[in-house]
Structure 1
Amino acid sequence: MTAIDVRGAEYAANREAMLAKLADLEAEHAKALAGGGEKYRARHRDRGKLLARERVELLLDPDTPFLELSPLAAWGSDYPVGASMVTGIGVVAGVECVITANDPTVRGGASNPWTLKKALRANEIAFANRLPCISLVESGGADLPSQKEIFIPGGALFRDLTRLSAAGIPTIAVVFGNSTAGGAYVPGMSDHVIMIEERSKVFLGGPPLVKMATGEESDDESLGGARMHARTSGLADYFAVDEPDALRQARRVVARLNWRKAHPAPPHPVVPPRHDPEELLGIVPGDLRTPFDPREVIARIVDGVDGADGADASDGSDGSGGSGFDEFKPLYGPSLVTAWARLAGYPLGVLANAQGVLFSEESQKAAQFIQLANQRDVPLLFLHNTTGYMVGKEYEQGGIVKHGSMMINAVSNSRVPHLSVLLGASYGAGHYGMCGRAYDPRFLFAWPSAKSAVMGPQQLAGVLSIVARQSAAANGQPYDDEADAALRSMVEQQIESESLPMFLSGRLYDDGVIDPRDTRTVLGLCLSAIHTAPVEGARGGFGVFRM
C-alpha cells in the first residue's frame, strides 16, 4: 500500500522541482557529450576516426546497456566537463567489463588531473569487482601545463594495470592513435594489445624528443608504428586494418578469455516493483527539511513479490509497503528503515533514513543489521537522507557517541559489497555511518535532489556566528550585527553551492548523478557486476563495539 497521491498538489510540486533539476543535469551532461566542441569533433571525423563513445558502442554487445561512470568529472574546474575520458561498465562478448576511452577531441586526449582521478576510479572498480579492463587509447600523454598535479600520482595508473594482471583480471589495450611518453606504458603493461595500421603510434619519445635527446632522425612509423610493433618489437599482439577491425578483434580477445562470474545468475525470478518507478520523481520534496517516507522509494526500486516468496504483500500489512521487502525491527529505531529485499533477483539488505536524524536506537539497529547481512553474504544498499547523529545533553548522556561509533565500526568492517544512493541530505557523521565515499562503497550515486556537507548551510553559518559573538564578548568588544548578517549570508551561499550534487560529482565524490527513475536499472547493473567477484561477508573482525 502506498501513501503517495500522484494527483495531489504536494506530489506535483515535488515532481516539478525534480524535473527542473533533471533539466539542469541534462545540460551539464551535454557538455561532456560535446567533448572538445564541434570544431574538433569535425576535425577528428575528417581524419576518418570514430568518436570515443562511438568506439565504446561498437565494442559493446548489440542492444546492451552501458553504465557510464563519473560523466561530470571536472565540473566546476578549469577543465572540460567529463575530463576528456569516458569510463563505464558494459557487456563485451557476454562478459561485463570496465571500459575506459580517451576523448581525443579534447586537447588530443591529453590527461589532466581529473582525467587521472577518473581513470584511477575505473581501475578501482575493475579490481574490486574482478571485471576485465579494456582501454581504448588515444592520448598525447599528460596535459603538460598541469604536469605538477599529474606526474607523481599518475604512476598509480601503471601500478594498477600490473596489479590487475597479477590478480588474474584481464587487461586489454586497443590503440587508436598516439600513446606516447608515459601513455606508452598503458599498452606496455596490458595483457593484450591491439594496434591499427597507420594509426597507432606508441613510443616513449616522439621524433622531436628523440632528435633533441640523441640527435637521431626518425619518423613515426619506424619509431612506434603499428606495423613495427607487430613485426619487430612484439608489443602489438594483434594487427588491425582500421578501427572497426580493431574493435572486432577486441571482442574476439574477450570471447577467448574463458572468463566466468564467481556467482551464477540469481535463481529467483525478477519481478517488477509493485509501484511505478516513474513516481519516484514526486517523492523527495524540493525543500529537504520536509521529511519523506523512504519506504515509498524502496517500494519502487526493489523486486515485487512473487508466489515463490510465500507471501502476498498487496496491502502492505507485512511491513513491506506493498512491495517485496520485509522490514527488520520496524518498531525500534524508526528513524532508520532496515529491510530485506531482492533487486534484479539478487538478495539485498536496505538501510534508509526515515526522519533525517540518527539516534542511539537507530545506530544499534543498523550495527546488528549489518552483522546479519555479513553472516548471510547479502550486499547492502544505503539510501541517504540524514542530517547526522542527534546532539544534545540527553543524547550525549544516553551514549550517542558510543552508539554512532558502533554503526560506523560495523560499516567500516563489513565485507559484503555496499551500494550507496544519496536521495536527500547526507550531512555530518551520518554520511559516514551511511557508507559515504570514504567508506569505499562499491558504487555511490546521487539524485539531483541530494546535498552533502559537514552540516546544513544555515547550521554551519549559525555556528560560526555564535563563535564570533562569544569571542567578541570575551574580549569586551561590541558585536557588529550587520557584518554578522553579511557573513552568514555569504557562508550559507558558499556551503549551499558546495553541497550540491554536480559540485560533488565533479570531484568524483560519487560515480554519477542519476535520474531517480533509473535507480533500479543502475543498481541492477551494479549488482550484476558485483557478483563477478565472490560476495563474502565478515564472520567477525568488527573490532570492539563500545556497549
Structure 2
Amino acid sequence: MPTLLSTLDTRSEAYQHNRAQMLALVEGFRELEAKVRAHGEAKRAKFNKRGQLTPRERVARLIDPGSPFLELSTLAGYKMHDDNGRKDTLGGGNIVGIGFVAGVRCLVTANDSAIKGGSIAPMGLQKSLRAQRIALENKLPCIGMVESGGANLNYQSELFVEGGKVFCNIARMSAAGIPHITVVNGSSTAGGAYLPGLSDYVIMVRGRAKVFLAGPPLVKAAIGEDASDEELGGAQMHAEVSGLAEYIAEDDAHGIRIARDVVAKLGWNQNYVPPPQRGFEPPRYDVEELCGVVPPDPRHPWDIRELIARLVDGSDFLEFKARWGSDTVCGHASIEGYALGIVANAGPIMPDGSCKAAQFIQLCCQANIPILYLQNTTGFMVGKHAEQRGAIKHGAKMIQAVANATVPQLTLLVGGGYGAGNYGMCGRAFDPRFIFAWPNAKVAVMGAEQIGMVMEMITKAKFAGTDHMLDEAARKIRDDNVRMMRDTLVKRIESESTALFATARLWDDGIIDPRDSRRVLAMALATCREAQTRTLSPNTFGPARL
C-alpha cells in the first residue's frame, strides 16, 4: 500500500508559527459567523412573543436529529451593501445547506427573518441562485422556509432581473423531477408570492402566512377595494378558497412536521440503491496538524503531500508520474471510502505539470471517479524557458480537460489561487460541483506586490520621455508619487485577495476550518455519488397547480 510518509516536524518553530497564524484566521471567520447568529438570536424574544420559532430553530427542527448539516456560504455579502462586517454581519440574510430530512438528502433554505425581516440583498439572491444550482446538479429535493420582507429596494437594480432566475429555476427543476416543498412561515408577497406559487407542495402557517401579489394599501389605491391581509392571502383562504396551499399548519413546528411527512411520503429513496458500505482507515497523521502545514505567507514553499497525508484514508496515495512535472501532484486516493483522483499544486504550474494533469483528469473521467483539486498555485509558469517549452499550449490542454471533465469536480483552496492557475485548478469560473476555501486562501490575478511592481514600471515608462523637462527635485516628487500610488494599490489588492473578500462574493461555497476538510469533502463526495446513481422522473412542465 503506497502510504505517504510525513517529514513534518510538529515541534519546530516554523510549524508552531504556521499553526498560530492559521488558528488566528480560523478564529477570525468563526467570530464573524457567530455575529450572524447573534444578530438573529437577539430577536428571539420577538419570535417567542409571536409564537414562532426563529429561522435557525426551524432549520434545526427540520433536519433529522444527530445527522450532519453542511451550511453553505455563511458569510455571503460580507462588507457589501448593508453588511458592515461588524454588528450588521448578515450572512446574505438567508440560511442554506445540505442535510437529511426523513432520511432524504435535501437542499434546505430559510429566510433569516430575524435579520432585517429577511429582506433580500443582492448577495443573498446570488446565494439562493447558487443553492438552486447545487440542488439541480446533485438531484436534491428542495425545502424552503419562507418569511421575507421581499427585495431590498435600495438595490433593486441588482435584484430585479437576476431575481427572475429564482422562479425560472424552480419551474425547470420541478420539470426535471426535483420536488420543491415550501413552508410559508410569514410574509411571501408581491414577486415573492411566486415562490409558493411555483412550488410542488405548499404548507402555510395559520395566522402568520401572507401570500398575495398586492397588499391592502395597494389594492385600495389601485382598484378602491377594501380587503384584509387574511382575505387577500391568509393561510385559511389559500387552503379553502384559492387552493394555493396543500396543507395548513397551526404553528411553525406543525408546519415543519408536515414538511417532514411530505418528504417521507415521496418515496424518494425507494428506487435508490446506495453503494455498499466500505470500511476505511483514518489518515495515519493527526488532523490537528493540518493547521501547521501551511505557511501564512503564500510565497513560502511547502509540500502539498503533507496535506494529502492528513486528508486521505490511511494516508494511502498512489502518486501518478511522481518523477515528472513534480510541481503538480496527481494521484489516486479515497476519503471515507469514496474513491477520487487528486490534482494538487506545490508551486507554479510548469508545462510538464500541465500535460500530466490533463492526462490524469481524462483518466479519472475514463474510470468515472470524481476529482479533487487542492489549489495552491502562483499560476502558470512564465519566462523564456517556460514559453519555449509550450506553457501556453500545454496549459490550454489542462484547461480544456478541466472544462470538459465528465465527472464531479471539487476544489479546495488551501493557499494561493493566482492568475490562470486558478482556472486550470478548477476555480469558481469553471463551475466545480463544490468549492471551499481555507481562511488563508488568496485569489487574485497575481500577487499584490507583483501588481504594484508592474503598475509602477508601466507608469515610469509612461513618464520616461519627460525626464529631460524636469529638474531633479521635480523628478523626485514625481517618483515619490508613483511609489505612493504603488503602495496604495498594493494595499487595496491585498484586501481584495483575502478569503473573506472571495467568500463574500461567492467565489467559494464557504470558508472552512482546515481540520474540517475531510468531513466536509466526505459529505460533498457522498452527495455527488448519490446524484450519479439517482434516476429522476422528469416531465414536460413540472406539476401544474390547478
Bucket of the pairwise TM-score, normalised by the shorter protein: over 0.9
Per-residue displacement from partner, 1:321-345 (whole Å, max 9, x unpaired)? xx11110111110001101011121
Deviation of 1:91 after TM superposition, in Å, equals: 0.6
Q: Does the residue aligned with 1:11 lie in a helix, a strand or coil?
A: helix
> Following the alignment from structure 2 to structure 1, what is the Cα–Cα distance between the partners of residues 122 and 8?
45
Q: Match of 2:524?
A: 526
Match of residue 166 from structure 1: 175
Which residue of 389, 395, 411 corresponds with 2:386?
395
Secondary structure of the corresponding residue to residue 83 of structure 1? helix
The residue aligned with 2:236 is 227
Q: Distance in 1 between matches of 2:466 and 2:374?
A: 46
- Tell me which protein shows more helix as a share of its residues: 2
Please state if 1:423 is matched with 2:414. yes
**Greater CA deviation, 256-265 or 74-83?**
256-265
Check if 1:22 corresponds to 2:14: no
Matched residue type, 2:509:
D
- Residue 70 (str. 1) matches residue 70 (str. 2): no
Q: How far, CA to CA, are the matches of 2:273 and 2:518 in structure 1?
A: 20
How do 1:270-349 residues align onto structure 2 when only pairs under 5 Å count?
270-304=280-314, 323-349=315-341
Per-residue CA deviations over 1:155-213 (Å, capped at 9, x if unaligned) read: 00000101110110111101100110111101100111111111111111111111111
Match of 1:5 in 2: 9
Are 1:35 and 1:103, in contact at CA under 8 Å, matched by a contact in 2? Answer: no
* Partner residue, 1:409: 400
Correspondence list, 1:29-68, <5 A: 29-35=33-39, 38=42, 40-68=43-71
Which SS does the other structure have where 1:32 is aligned?
Answer: helix
Q: 1: CA distance between counterparts of 2:273 and 2:464?
A: 65
AA aligned to 1:274 is R
User: What is the 5 A alignment of 1:218-257?
Assistant: 218-257=227-266
The question of 1:119 aligning with 2:128 is answered yes
Q: 1:484 aligns with which of 482, 485, 495?
A: 482
Match of 1:381 in 2: 372
Query: Within 1, Cα distance between the matches of 2:184 and 2:283?
Result: 43
Letter in 2 for 1:463: V
Separation in structure 1 between the aligned mates of residue 171 and residue 79 of structure 2, nearest angstrom: 33
Report whether the alignment pairs 1:434 with 2:425: yes
Aligned to 2:141: 132
- For residue 457 of structure 1, report the CA deviation from its aligned partner: 0.5
Corresponding residue for residue 82 of structure 1? 91
Amino acid at match of 2:158: E
Answer yes or no: is the 8 Å Cα contact 1:195–1:240 preserved in 2. Answer: yes
Find the residue that maps to 2:376 and give its secondary structure.
strand
- Structure 1 unaligned regions, length at least 5: 305-322, 537-547
Contact 2:81 2:121 in 1 (8 A): no
From 451, 466, 478, the counterpart of 1:460 = 451
Measure the CA separation in 2 of the matches of 1:383 and 1:2: 18
**Which residue matches 1:539?**
none
Contact 1:263 1:531 in 2 (8 A): no
Offset of residue 140 of structure 1: 1.8
- Residue by residue over 1:279-312, the C-alpha shift from the partner in whole angstroms, topping out at 9 and shown as x without a partner, is 10100011111111111111111111xxxxxxxx
Give me the whole-angstrom Cα distance separating, in 2, the residues matched to 1:61 and 1:270: 25
Aligned equivalent of 2:354, options 360, 363, 375: 363
Q: Aligned partners of 1:258 and 1:223: how far apart in 2?
A: 35
Question: Higher RCO, 1 or 2 (CA under 8 Å, sep at least 6)?
Answer: 2
What is the distance in 2 between the residues matched to 1:45 and 1:18?
39
Shift of residue 141 of structure 1? 1.4
Once structures 1 and 2 are overlaid, which stretch shifts more, 143-152 or 242-251?
143-152
**Match in the other structure for 1:307:** none
Two-structure CA RMSD over aligned residues (Å):
1.5
Give the number of equivalent residue pairs: 516
- The equivalent residue for 1:107 is 116
Q: After superposition, what is the alpha-carbon deviation per residue over 1:212-234, rounded to whole angstroms, capped at 9, x for unaligned?
A: 11111111111111111111111
Q: Quote the offset at 1:132 in angstroms.
A: 0.6
Alignment-derived partner of residue 154 in structure 1: 163
Q: 2:492 is matched with which residue?
A: 494
| Paired AA for residue 472 in structure 1 | F
Q: How much does 1:37 deviate? A: 6.7
Bigger Cα displacement from structure 2, 416-425 vs 293-302: 293-302
**How much does 1:410 deviate?**
0.5
Letter in 1 for 2:238: H
Residue 535 of structure 1 and its aligned partner are, at CA, apart by 6.8
Does the CA-based 8 Å contact 2:402-2:424 persist in structure 1?
A: yes
* Alignment partner of 2:192 out of 183, 186, 190: 183
8 Å Cα contact 1:76/1:506 also seen in 2? yes
Cα distance in 2 for partners of 1:338, 1:474 equals 50
Identity within the alignment, %: 51
User: SS where residue 194 of structure 1 aligns?
Assistant: strand
Separation in structure 2 between the aligned mates of residue 238 and residue 301 of structure 1, nearest angstrom: 46
User: Following TM superposition, by how much is the alpha carbon of 1:5 offset from its aligned partner in structure 2, in angstroms?
Assistant: 1.4
Instruction: Report if the CA contact (8 A) 1:262-1:533 is conserved.
Output: no
Could you say which residue in structure 2 is the equivalent of 1:510? 508
Any idea what SS the aligned residue of 2:531 has? coil
Q: What is the TM-score normalised by the length of structure 1?
A: 0.92
What displacement does 1:271 show? 2.0
Aligned-pair CA distance for 1:44: 2.6
Q: Which amino acid aligns with 2:205?
A: I
- The answer to whether the 8 Å contact 1:266/1:345 transfers is no
Match of 2:267 among 250, 258, 262: 258
1:542 maps to which residue? none
Residue 351 (str. 1) matches residue 343 (str. 2): yes
Q: Secondary structure at the match of 1:45?
A: helix
**Displacement, 1:130?**
0.5
Q: What is the distance in 2 between the residues matched to 1:113 and 1:45?
A: 29
Deviation track 1:10-61 (CA, whole Å, cap 9, x = no partner) reads: 11110000111111111211122123572x4432332121111110000000
In 2 relative to 1, CA 443–262 (structure 1 residues): closer, same or farther, beyond 3 Å? farther
Alpha-carbon distance between aligned partners in 1 of 2:209 and 2:497, rounded to the nearest angstrom: 43
1:291 partner letter: P
CA distance in 1, matches of 2:140, 2:273: 13
Question: Is contact 1:462–1:488 with CA below 8 Å preserved after alignment?
Answer: yes
